[in-house]
Amino acid sequence: MAVIMTDSNTSPNKKHFSPVSFIIGLLIALLGCGVVYMLLPNKQKNGTTAEQNKEQGKDSSIFGGEHFYRIHHHMHIDRDAEPIILMPDEESMLEKGNPTDRERKLIELLPNSPVIYLYDLKVTDYQRLYYNPDGTAVSIHDTAAPNLINQAMKNFSAQKFDLALTKLKPLLNREDPNAFFYTGAAYYYQKNYPQALIMLNRIGNLSNNVFKQEAYWYKALCFIDLQKNDEAKTLLQHIADAQGFYASQARKQLATLK
């Protein structure tokens, strides 16, 4: 009887993989890995998430340690003032409208006007200053006021101070605390200290107190750079006594001027 030998390579039960099948399988595997990767938190090379990296980038800004700069996007109000805890003999005095010096300092730190943030920069009285009672935008020299303040904050945030000053200039005649402060701050960063002081001094005459802490601080910095130490010491001492946002920085500066 003849025996028919069959080669295992030619067996009808043997599956063959063509190059096309291999490529299709590889693409499916890569697609699956991509889907899994997209579902995982977006990690950076250093192990931090994209959101954490974004926050770290903000911390590196020259405005990162300033009272007018919002580091964390969820902070919508100032949190400088300590809780007003009344002593037993102080409650009746406060009710009679006669607060103690300690209470008065704490109350003065509370912002008396609404605040929003544009490009992480504090802006006060946005609706009242830039919109009419009927909801239409205020127009200044045929330009919408909201556009002016928005562009000013955008350029200030990018440290394009010349452009910021150009956008803020039309707002200066409206007793605008935002325009006064950011114009003064822009001049300070340009080392134009006399012009900075003129703008910052105008804030002290306003009923809106939102930028009062910043104004005192930047005026003190101007005097330090102008080597007017006596004027700087007076302002720094006031800032330190007020126990607000810049108090610790003011005490450090005072120590260097003695």
DSSP string, the chain: -------GGG-TT-----HHHHHHHHHHHHHHHHHHHHHS--B-TTS-BHHHHHHHHHHTSTTTT-TTB-SSTT--S---SPP-PPPTTTHHHHHTT---HHHHHHHHHS--S-EEEETTEEEESHHHHHB-TTSPBPEETTEEHHHHHHHHHHHHHTT-HHHHHHHHGGGGGGT-HHHHHHHHHHHHHTT-HHHHHHHHHHHTT-S--TTHHHHHHHHHHHHHHTT-HHHHHHHHHHHHHHTSTTHHHHHHHHHHH-
Of 197, 217, 208, 214, the residue nearest 121 (C-alpha) = 214
112 token code pair:
């008396």
Spans of the chain, pLDDT less than 70: 1-60, 71-100, 102-103, 105-106
- For residues 237 and 258, is the Cβ–Cβ distance under 8 A? no
Q: Which residues contact 217 (CB under 8 A, 6 or more apart)?
A: 67, 239, 246, 249, 250
What integer pLDDT is reported at residue 95 of this predicted model?
Answer: 58
Residues 138, 200: Cα–Cα separation, whole Å? 24
Mean confidence (pLDDT) of the chain:
78
- What does CATH list as the number for 111-257? 1.25.40.10
The long-range contacts involving 142-145, CB below 8 angstroms and separated by at least 24 positions, are 143/170, 145/171
Answer positive or negative: Cα dihedral of 153, 155, 159, 164: negative
Phi and psi at residue 134, in whole multiples of 5°?
-85, 5
Task: Name the pairing type of β-strands 121-124 and 143-144.
Answer: unpaired
What integer pLDDT is reported at residue 38 of this predicted model?
Answer: 54
Specify the residue for token string 């919002």.
70
What integer pLDDT is reported at residue 3 of this predicted model?
Answer: 45
| Tens of pLDDT, residues 122-178 | 999 999 999 999 999 999 999 999 999 999 999 999 999 999 999 999 999 999 999
pTM: 0.69
What integer pLDDT is reported at residue 65 of this predicted model?
Answer: 81
Residues 204, 199: Cα–Cα separation, whole Å? 10
What integer pLDDT is reported at residue 59 of this predicted model?
Answer: 55
